[in-house]
Amino acid sequence: MSSNLFSLEGKTIVVTGANKGIGKEIAVMLAEADANVALVARDEQALEETARVIQEKGRAAESFPFDLTEVEHMNELFGSIYKRFGQIDVLLNNAGTNIPVPAEEVTEEQWDRIHDINLKSVFFACQAAGKWMREAGHGKIINMSSQMAFVGYYNRAAYSSSKGGITQLTKSLAIEWASDGINVNAVAPTFIETPMTEKMFEDTEFKEEVLARIPLGRLARPEDLFGAVAFLSSASSDMVTGQTIVVDGGWTVW
159 is annotated as an active-site residue: yes
Angle (nearest 5°) at CA 44 between 41 and 46: 85
Cα 193 versus chain centre, distance:
16
* Cα–Cα dist 66/81, whole Å: 12
Cβ-contact 140, 238 below 8 angstroms: no
- Give me the catalytic one of 82, 153, 154, 159: 159
d(CA 141, CA 7): 16
Q: Which residues contact 193 (CB under 8 A, 6 or more apart)?
A: 201, 219, 220, 221
Whole-Å CA distances, 121 to 41, 45, 104, 116, 245: 12, 22, 26, 6, 21
Q: How far apart are CA 244 and CA 254, in angstroms?
A: 18
**Rounded-to-integer distance, Cα 128 and Cα 68, Å:** 12
Long-range contacts of range 159-162, CB-CB < 8 Å, 24 or more positions apart? 159/98, 159/99, 159/100, 159/114, 159/118, 161/115, 162/96, 162/114, 162/115, 162/118, 162/119
87 CB-contact burial (10 Å; exposed 0-12 / middle 13-18 / buried 19+): middle
Which residues belong to the active site? Answer: 159
